[in-house]
Amino acid sequence: MRVLVFFGLLGLVAASQAACNDKPGRTTAADTTRGQALYKDLCASCHGAKGEGGVAPVLRDWTRGEETLTRIIDERMPQGAPEKCDGDCPPSIARYILDTFKGEVVCESPKPLARGLRLLSRRELEATVSDILAGTTAAPAPAAPCGTVSFVYDPKGRAVTRVHVAGSFNGWPGTIAGGGYPLTRAGNVFALAQPLPNGSHSYKLVLDERDWIPDPDNPRRGPDGFGGENSLVDVSCPASGTAPPEKGDDVVASAFVSYPKEARPEAYHFDQHGPSRVTSAPLAEAVFRIAATVSQAADVPKMLACGANVDEACTKSFVTRVGKRVFRRPLEADEQKRYEALALGGADRTKGARLALRAMLTSPAFLYRTELGEKKGDTFVLTRWEVASAMSYGVTGSMPDDALMGAAERGDLATREGREREARRLLGTPRARKHLGEFAEQWLGADKVAEVEKQSALFPDDSPALRAAMREETRRFFTHVVFDGSHRTAELFRANYTFVDATLAKHYGMAAPKTPFEKQAYPDRARAGLLGHASVLATTAHSDQSSPIRRGLFVRRNLLCQELPPPPPNVGGVPKIDPNATTRERFAQHTANASCASCHRHIDPVGFGFERFDAMGRLRDSENGKPIDAKGDMTDVEGLGKGTSAPFADLASLGETLAESRAAEACVAKQLYRFTRGVLEGDACVTRPYETRFRDRGGDVRELLVDLVSSEDFTVRQ
Amino acid sequence: MNVVSRRSLLRGLLGAAMLSPFAGLLRTAAADGAGGPAKRILFFYFPDGVPDPGGAAGKWFPQGSDTNVTLSENLAPLARFAKDTLFLRGLSMGATDAGSHPGGAKKLLTAVDGGGGESIDRWLARNVGSASPVSHLYLGAMAAQNNASGDKFISYPSAGTTVAPEDDPRAAFARLFGSATPTPGASSGPDPDDTSVLDTAFADLESMRRRAGDVEKAKLDLHLEALRDVEKRVKGLGAVPTASCQNPRIDTAGITSQTLNEAATFPQILRAQSDLMVQAMACGLTRVGVLQCSQHTSELIMSRFAGTPLYRPSFDMRSHQASHYGDPGDSKFADYTAQRTWFVAQAAYVLEQLAARPEGSGTMLDHSLVVICSEVSDGNTHSHDNMPFVVCGKGGGAVRTGRILDAGGRRHGELWVSLARAMGANLGSFGSGGGPLPGVLV
């Protein structure tokens, strides 16, 4: 019962959330009792108790006839273990489905999430600490500010120990000690990501502080006045992108270096802030040290705001104000007393205040967001402060800013309109943009490109800088579509443009952009929207070969929210590399073998559409001397079991099918639900209201997020 | 305030001449209890099972019965320790999720389907190891790679929850043994600021518990345990070096934040983590440890291990890929077999380190238990029957070693009961199984 296993896990992390009820008054025919029992046992966990679908197709209003249904059950169900349903089992289940599952499922309003405590994720903690140090409202710098130029030098066997950049921006220093920007060794190459001011710059690379050469990776050159050439680079960032990093961000980033890695729940793509995240000794130790480091760096006199006279009243006011920011609510009386005692405990009150800040940043009241609420009837309604935090972490991934705390204080967040107003305002902050960029790379698995291993012999241009550029491309693209573009999901799949720097442009065979990561048209139709992103193509491939399976599953799982069961044991694994065959030919056995084909007919023909891209996302026209065939079929795009076919000739037409798909649009709603709630939805009814409103309101992703953090069920727990 | 010097961590060799932040809690092993040196238990996990297609083609299980043991190809690296080892066969993890890697990983240490219970290592940490400065030490080698999902981790602090192991030996060393250059005066007693900060955290935790009522009790309990480990470190006083704990060090040459995720570095990372684990135990920091190699359905490219028989630079052979050998005649079967033998050799290195440390009238190994395990049996079929468990070390004379024990299909939870008893704990049954397993204990 492998299929059941999978759904059991969903239940584990999602808690029981929702119930879908059939229309009232329906009776079950006596002869379907056995069918009902078998269905409950073998089918319901994936297809839903009422055939409403879940990880497996909807079964209601079956139109393809009893004979077909019986045959499918007999041959393929339960998926991966059809031997569990033989004899009279298939016809009994088919009869039950046809007799019982008629008409639309009426979803009751979803049951609320469980009350509880959410331990901040690493990203949330880091963003929050930065915001607290910034002292005022949330306005941090984006992760890779516009104007950051990647320098990469590949010595190609030449014995070089030091490389630095010298140019018009740093006064052409001949040595690193003299102000040259040093590149650091990263595998086989030297690399540096350096923010440069707006303007046209010329520069050279200096090897071992002796040999001055133009940047071999940068085709833009100009005369250097000494008979040689300088490399040229232009930087022009809009005003908002050039904001320098907040004071203290470096301190925060370095304090987090030894923060332990985090686990994500099974089948959950996102950073975990949900019910199953717990602390451990290494985590507690890391937090203890981070609090010590950053409180030492904090501008405590400024936070005290007492001037020269740090008197008792002013110190107590510090505890009240800063405590409210750190705990995201006013301090309880016992807490106020404890922190006042720390702040006033010694002769030096500034030192005392610093110690109080450190203790606050170590406190579980800071590390956990409570969602306990106050009892109202059968459920619990989140407090105004809990609503503010839930909204803020949902939209910006960090603590509530002063304006949101003000709105909470006034009671504005008690109404849906009030929450919508604040959610729209938060969407305009830089934190929201960064947060949605992170949503995109977690949803698409693009963040994994930092760690996936590749055969270096096959990909000589591989470097940390290239991988960083791949991630940045995906974040930029998604936030562009959502904030600056059409705001619609269709654009994600059909956009004929992207965002690359010189390193990634070279990888793609595109002209280098004037400014790193400015919007640039794809040179041809080979790539389509995010389907052409190297971050996606490289993470859905093996180290040394493409993987039609992983790419097909990526479309099914990540883009369409369709789950397929894991492969049965005793399969052969990846076919051996054959120097005389294409990947497509090697994987043909999947569709030739009947038991493999029951699943792989939905996977491989989709994955073949990506075959023009190798394991690092480079374009190719042939493999092992044979031309690439990237034709495929996007079967059952609106739901497995629908029996539809959408043949495509290339990746762009696959993108077009996805752009037109209701399932792909609804899947974005499901993924954002998971991202903001920190859990997988219990069943199809949980996210359906959001999907419906998303579509009805024109498919604006910004409004979807507003809906997710302002709906009525968002503020209620059980 | 103790500040770990980053500079010291950049050096290839991390060392700490008895300057551990836990220095005050380092103790002579003999001081632990009247029953002789303290017992330790270590779970050594490797992913993706063993080559056991049935019949004579199998490469894992030894031949023979009772004390007549003929080692298999995979277990050959244990030859030197055969007299100190209990070879198990016929243990089952039950039918639920059989055929599944994650299903096996969830049952492995919890003995409960779906990971629905605390794992035995955590239970032992709470019941046997809680007086140690570090009640539980969970180290990994590339175990949390690629945004690993929680089902990849074998240790369950409570039902249904996992945390990632510490994968960076440099950070783990700094946490356990501190920096090689201590802040002057740091050893003169607990920093009063550290103490106040912790006291406040404990008080806030109590307030939170009152407000939350019955909700999230398990989560808050785990937070309390974690804070107590920090407190034990902060409140440590005075160092007591022992015969088996001298100048703790690990070799971190070649390990950088970049290479931490590169398969070629895996052998060095595992070696550093093994050294760290053994020394943490030798120095009395912890009695319960888990060493997790990679993760189930592992993408670890073992053909990149230079200087090992697995090395083949021209072709990438991963652990999980090799485990699906299809037919014992396939060349992948030979790769898979060699990979498993390599993992066992790494476990043997841990045994060597324990055997090299004199303790009481023998060595540390005499007072320790090292359990070698994986989440499935045969990797090609993902069987959950006839699981590949091996128990090394005498556990202070509690375990009958030098033998093959056929469990005849009994559940592996019974083994955990036996080993908990060998550790001196009073455990009646564990997980969904009964216990103890007849024939394990003296």
What digits encode the pLDDT tens for the residues A591-608?
777 767 878 889 999 999
Q: What confidence tier does B432 reach under pLDDT thresholds 50, 70, 90?
A: confident
- Find the range with the poorest average confidence among A220-229, A439-448, B16-25: B16-25
A565 has a pLDDT exceeding 80: no
Confidence check: pLDDT of B26 > 50: no
Query: Is pLDDT above 60 for A232?
Result: yes
**Quick one: three-class SS letters along A669-684?**
HHHHHHHHHCCCCCCH
pLDDT reported for residue B376: 96
CATH number 3.40.50.920 given to A20-107 = no
Strand partners, A192: A151
CB A580 within 8 A of CB A622: no
Asked if A281 and B197 come within 8 Å (Cβ–Cβ), the reply is: no
Q: What SS3 class is residue B368?
A: strand
State whether the Cα torsion B385-A8-A268-A391 is positive or negative.
negative
Cα–Cα distances in Å, from A711 out to A268, A427, B325, B338?
Answer: 23, 16, 52, 57
Tell me if chain A has a CB within 8 Å of the CB of B263. Answer: yes
- What's the distance, CA B375 to chain centroid? 14
Domain ranges for chain B: 6-183+238-422, 190-235
- What is the secondary structure of A348-397 as a DSSP string? -HHHHHHHHHHHHHHSHHHHEEEE--EEETTEEEPPHHHHHHHHHHHHHS
Q: Is A2–B99 a contact, with Cβ atoms under 8 angstroms apart? A: yes
Indicate yes or no: CB of A573 within 8 angstroms of CB of B321: yes
Provide the residue type at B118 as one letter.
Answer: E
pLDDT of res. A262: 83
Give A148-236's CATH code, choosing from 3.30.70.890, 3.30.2420.10, 2.60.40.10, 2.60.40.1120.
2.60.40.10
Domains A20-107 and A148-236 share a fold: no
Which residue of B161, B174, B230 is in closest CB contact with A278?
Answer: B161
- Residue spans per domain, chain A: 20-107, 116-141+246-370, 148-236, 438-660
> Which residue in chain A is spatially nearest to B202 when comparing CA positions?
A363
CA dihedral in degrees (A419, A421, A424, A426; nearest 10)? -70
Q: What is the pLDDT of residue A141?
A: 36
**Res. B364 pLDDT band, cuts 50 70 90:** very high
8 A C-beta contact, residue B192 and residue B148: no
Q: Which residue of B has its CA nearest to A346?
A: B193
Three-class SS state of B240: coil
- B1 interaction partners in chain A (CB closer than 8 Å): 292, 296
Using the beta-carbon criterion (under 8 Å), do A355 and B196 form an inter-chain contact? yes
B385–A contact, CB cutoff 8 A:
no
Residue of B nearest to A292 (CA): B1
- The answer to whether the CB atoms of B200 and A281 lie below 8 A apart is no
Tell whether B381 is within 8 A of chain A (Cβ).
yes
What confidence score (pLDDT) does residue B188 get?
Answer: 57
Q: Which two tokens stand for residue A511?
A: 């002209």
Kindly give the pairing relationship between strand A229-235 and strand A199-207: antiparallel
Burial of residue A72, with CB atoms counted within 10 A of its CB: 0-12 exposed, 13-18 middle, 19 or more buried = middle
Distance from CA of A261 to the nearest CA of B (A): 6
Name the minimum distance, in Å, from the CA of A279 to any CA of chain B: 6
Q: Which residues in B lie closer than 8 A to residue A11 (C-beta atoms)?
A: none
Give the distance, in angstroms, between the CA of residue A337 and the centroid of all CA atoms in the same chain.
41
In this structure, whether the domain defined by B6-183+238-422 belongs to CATH 3.40.720 is answered with yes
Q: How far is CA A85 from the centre of its chain?
A: 39
Which run of H or E residues covers position A207? strand A199-207
Residues B274, A609: Cα–Cα separation, whole Å? 45
Does pLDDT of B9 surpass 60?
Answer: no
Find chain A residues with C-beta within 8 A of B162's C-beta: 263
Minimal-distance CA residue of chain B relative to A262: B164
Judge whether B256 is closer than 8 Å to chain A, CB to CB.
no
pLDDT at B180: 40
User: How many helices and strands, by DSSP H and E, does chain B display?
Assistant: 10, 13
Position A142 scores a pLDDT of 38
B358 interface with A at CB cutoff 8 Å: no
Q: Show the DSSP H helices in A397-501 as ranges.
A: 402-410, 416-427, 430-443, 464-479, 490-494
Largest CA-CA distance found in chain A, in angstroms, rounded: 96
| Percent of the residues in chain B that have a pLDDT greater than 90, as a whole number | 69
Nearest to A363 among B138, B200, B381 (CB): B200
Q: How far is A146 from chain B (nearest CA, A)?
A: 25
290-319 in chain B: CB under 8 A from chain A: 299, 301, 313-316
Query: Residue A587 has what pLDDT?
Result: 82
Task: Find all residues with CB under 8 Å of A83, minimum gap 6, and list them.
Answer: none
CB contact under 8 A, A283 and B211: no
User: A56, A641 in Cβ contact below 8 A?
Assistant: yes
Closest-CA distance, A67 to chain B, in angstroms, reads: 31
Residues 318-357 of chain B whose Cβ lies under 8 A from any Cβ of chain A: 320-321, 323-324, 326, 332
Q: What average pLDDT does chain B have?
A: 87
- Does residue A522 have a pLDDT over 90? yes
- Which residue in chain A is spatially nearest to B303 when comparing CA positions? A455
> Is B146 in the A-facing interface, judged by CB distances under 8 Å?
yes
Distance from CA of B133 to the nearest CA of A (A): 11
Chain B residue numbers with beta carbons less than 8 Å from the beta carbon of A445 are 147
Q: Picking from A67-81, A447-461, A692-706, B41-55, which range would have the lowest pLDDT averaged per residue?
A: A67-81
Confidence of residue B2 (pLDDT cuts 50, 70, 90): very low
At residue A543, the pLDDT reads: 92
A-chain residues near B233 (CB < 8 A) = 285
A285 vs B229: CB contact, 8 Å cut-off? yes
For residue A568, list chain B residues with Cβ-Cβ distance below 8 A.
Answer: 99
| Separation of alpha carbons B32 and B228, rounded Å | 20
Q: Is the ipTM of this complex over 0.90?
A: no
Optimal mutation site among B130, B194, B197, B375, interface A, most CBs of chain A within 10 A: B197
Name the minimum distance, in Å, from the CA of B430 to any CA of chain A: 21
Nearest C-alpha of chain B: how many angstroms from A362?
A: 6
Give the single-character DSSP code of A495: -
Output A308 or A499, whichever has higher pLDDT.
Answer: A499
Tell me the one-letter amino acid at A451: E
d(CA A641, CA A252): 50
Chain A residues touching B380 at Cβ < 8 A: 569-570
Q: How far apart are CA A375 and CA A184, in angstroms?
A: 57
pLDDT at residue A60, rounded to an integer: 83
User: What value does the mean pLDDT take over residues A627-654?
Assistant: 92
Mean pLDDT of all residues belonging to chain A: 86
Whether residue A370 has pLDDT greater than 60: yes
| Residue A241: per-residue pLDDT | 35
Is the alpha carbon torsion for A27, A28, A31, A33 positive or negative? negative
Residues of chain B with C-beta less than 8 angstroms from the C-beta of A364 = 201, 204-205, 208, 220, 223
List the single residue in B with minimal CA-CA distance to A464. B258
Dihedral over alpha carbons A281, A282, A284, A285 (to 10 degrees): 120
Residue bearing the bigger pLDDT, A256 or A540: A540
Task: Note whether A364 contacts B223, CB cutoff 8 Å.
Answer: yes
User: Which residue in A261, A462, A539, A590 has the most chain B C-beta atoms within 10 A of its own C-beta, making it the best mutation to test that interface?
Assistant: A261
- Over residues A299-311, mean pLDDT: 89
Q: A178 to chain B nearest CA, in Å?
A: 23
What was the pLDDT predicted at A428?
94
Handedness of CA A310, A314, A319, A325 (dihedral sign): negative
- What integer is the mean pLDDT of A446-452? 92
pLDDT tops 70 at residue B110: yes
Subunit contact B99:A568, Cβ cutoff 8 A: yes
The β-bridge partners of A117 are: A370
pLDDT at B22: 57
For A167-185, the DSSP string reads ETTTT--SSTTTT-EEEEE
* DSSP label of A557: I
Contacts of B30 (CB under 8 A, 6+ apart): B36, B37, B359, B360
Give the chain A residue whose CA is nearest to the CA of B225: A281
- Going by pLDDT thresholds of 50, 70 and 90, the confidence category of residue A140 is very low
What does the pLDDT look like over B140-192, one tens digit per residue?
Answer: 999 998 888 889 999 999 999 999 999 999 989 988 887 543 444 445 578 89
- Per-residue pLDDT at B421: 97
Q: Do B219 and A364 touch (CB under 8 A)?
A: no
Please report the beta strands in B397-438, taking only residues with DSSP state E, as ranges in sequence order.
Answer: 403-406
Q: How confident is the model at residue A145 (pLDDT cuts 50, 70, 90)?
A: low
Instruction: Indicate yes or no: CB of B381 within 8 angstroms of CB of A453.
Output: no
Percent over 90 (pLDDT), chain A: 56
User: Tens of pLDDT along B56-68?
Assistant: 899 999 999 899 9
What pLDDT was estimated at residue A244? 44
Of residues A64 and A694, which shows the higher confidence score?
A694
Please say whether the beta carbons of A633 and A614 come within 8 A: no
Contacts of A296 in chain B (CB under 8 A): 1
For residues B28 and B38, give the distance between their C-alpha atoms in angstroms, rounded to a whole number: 9
pLDDT digits (tens, 9 = 90+) for A3-59: 332 333 333 223 332 333 333 333 344 456 889 999 988 888 778 888 877 667 778
- Residue A307, sorted as left (phi over 0), alpha (psi -120 to 50) or beta, turns out to be left
| DSSP conformational letter for B143 | T
